[in-house]
């Protein structure tokens, strides 16, 4: 089995413990760092949260934790969860297929946090995610996350600590990058590699980690651009025009479907959640926003929506969403 782990450590500091030790590595291939210029230290000049309206949860039920979670729980060395693990299957208003979440009892993110943050990942991207597992930050210095992107191609995402929307979207970009029909991440393909080879910069320091991380980070900028029509403050297109041309050509970033009300989208690589919801909410339509609306003020919604009065759970929309900052450390570990 060949498995790739993509780590996104948050906040500064060296990531020295945690999930990396969970897996017995016999072969380790660290993907090549990029030698381009980073436009910014991090992506702190913008906040995606206000432009990611949460889809409401229409139902959820407790389920037995799948093996893809229980494997990482228990008292063994490298376990990600030493307390109780619970699992739920959630249905959002925009997708008939359920999303499975496993939560460790001592995780910093509550199940309500998870419902809200998962629901904020735009449906066009969320449909690619596998099982979500949330656990405690534990001994690690930083909140962090990783996504399974090869091997069994699950797109499963494991979060540790209180991860903000940038982290959630970043990890779902990895899940998209490793869509089920791809033997290798799309970011390992020649189009993306050529784009990097012909450009002179990447968005931020974390993007320099390797081509896969650069791909996920640029996805965050593109989502901003889909909504506002321009790149986030402080970023210019000229030195990364080939990466932008590649990324904006992906059907994923069609605003109508990315921020639509339906995971049944017939474009791009096959997704992991594709059954349309029973009731399509026609009021959830995508509208671009005026760039000036990014400056202060209340949350801007990328789609208009009704109140979701008959949701069976209350999701606290105001729970604190930490804007986690990306640290310059990561890599891809390949295990055979």
Ligand X SMILES: *[C@@H]1O[C@H](CO)[C@@H](O)[C@H](O)[C@H]1NC(C)=O
- CB-wise, 37 or 184, nearer to ligand X? 184
Residue from 56, 257, 262, 294 touching ligand X (CB under 6 A): that is 257
Nearest to 103, CA basis, from 127, 139, 70:
70
Stretch that binds ligand X, among 73-81, 127-135, 183-191, 321-329 (CB under 6 A): 183-191
**Residue 256 near ligand X by CB under 6 A:** yes
**Within a 10 A sphere around the Cβ of 328, how many other Cβ atoms?**
17
**Residue 217 near ligand X by CB under 6 A:** no
- CB-wise, 185 or 203, nearer to ligand X? 185
Residue from 26, 75, 310, 314 touching ligand X (CB under 6 A): that is 310
Stretch that binds ligand X, among 132-140, 155-163, 164-172, 249-257 (CB under 6 A): 249-257
Q: How many Å apart are CA 168 and CA 165, to the nearest integer?
A: 5
- 1 to 60, contacts with ligand X by CB under 6 A? 4
**Residue 188 near ligand X by CB under 6 A:** yes
Q: How many Å apart are CA 179 and CA 185, to the nearest integer?
A: 8
Q: Is the dihedral of CA 275, 59, 256, 118 positive or negative?
A: negative
Work out whether strand 3-9 and strand 144-148 pair parallel, antiparallel, or are unpaired. antiparallel
Three-class SS state of 66: coil
Minimal distance, residue 105 CB to ligand X, in Å: 25
Stretch that binds ligand X, among 38-46, 48-56, 184-192, 269-277 (CB under 6 A): 184-192
- 88 to 117, contacts with ligand X by CB under 6 A? none
Work out whether strand 99-104 and strand 132-135 pair parallel, antiparallel, or are unpaired. parallel
Residue from 239, 250, 301, 317 touching ligand X (CB under 6 A): that is 317
Q: How many Å apart are CA 52 and CA 121, to the nearest integer?
A: 7
Q: How many Å apart are CA 257 and CA 260, to the nearest integer?
A: 5
Stretch that binds ligand X, among 82-90, 200-208, 218-226, 252-260 (CB under 6 A): 252-260
Cβ atoms 167, 145 nearer than 8 A: yes
**Total H helices, total E strands in the chain:** 8, 10
Kindly write out the interface string for residues 131-170 of this chain, putting x where it contacts ligand X by CB under 6 A and - elsewhere.
Answer: -------------------x--------------------
Which residues lie near ligand X (CB under 6 A)? 4, 150, 184-185, 188, 254, 256-257, 279, 310, 317-318
């Amino acid at each position: 089995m060949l498995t790739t782990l993509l780590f996104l450590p948050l906040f500064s500091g060296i990531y020295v413990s945690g999930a990396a030790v969970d897996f017995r590595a016999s072969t380790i291939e660290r993907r090549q760092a990029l030698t381009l210029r980073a436009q910014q230290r991090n992506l702190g000049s913008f906040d995606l949260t206000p432009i990611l309206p949460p889809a409401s949860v229409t139902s959820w039920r407790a389920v037995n934790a799948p093996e893809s979670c229980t494997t990482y729980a228990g008292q063994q060395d490298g376990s990600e969860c030493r307390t109780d693990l619970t699992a739920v299957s959630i249905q959002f208003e925009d997708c008939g297929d359920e999303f499975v979440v496993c939560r460790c009892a001592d995780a910093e993110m509550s199940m309500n946090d998870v419902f809200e943050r998962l629901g904020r990942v735009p449906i066009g991207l969320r449909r690619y995610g596998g099982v979500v597992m949330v656990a405690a930050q534990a001994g690690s210095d930083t909140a962090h996350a990783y996504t399974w992107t090869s091997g069994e191609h699950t797109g499963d995402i494991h979060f540790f600590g209180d991860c903000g929307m940038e982290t959630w979207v970043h990890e779902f970009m990895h899940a998209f990058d490793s869509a089920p029909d791809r033997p290798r991440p799309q970011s390992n393909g020649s189009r993306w590699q050529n784009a990097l080879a012909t450009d002179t910069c990447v968005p931020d320091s974390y993007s320099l980690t390797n081509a896969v991380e650069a791909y996920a980070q640029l996805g965050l900028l593109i989502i901003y651009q889909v909504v506002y029509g321009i790149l986030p403050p402080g970023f210019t297109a000229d030195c990364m025009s080939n990466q932008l041309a590649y990324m904006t050509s992906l059907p994923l970033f069609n605003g109508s479907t990315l921020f639509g009300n339906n995971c049944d989208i017939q474009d791009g690589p096959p997704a992991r959640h594709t059954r349309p919801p029973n009731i399509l909410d026609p009021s959830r339509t995508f509208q671009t926003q005026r760039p000036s609306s990014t400056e202060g003020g209340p949350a801007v919604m990328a789609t208009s929506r009704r109140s979701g009065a008959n949701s069976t759970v209350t999701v606290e929309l105001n729970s604190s969403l930490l804007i986690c900052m990306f640290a310059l450390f990561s890599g891809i570990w390949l295990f055979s």
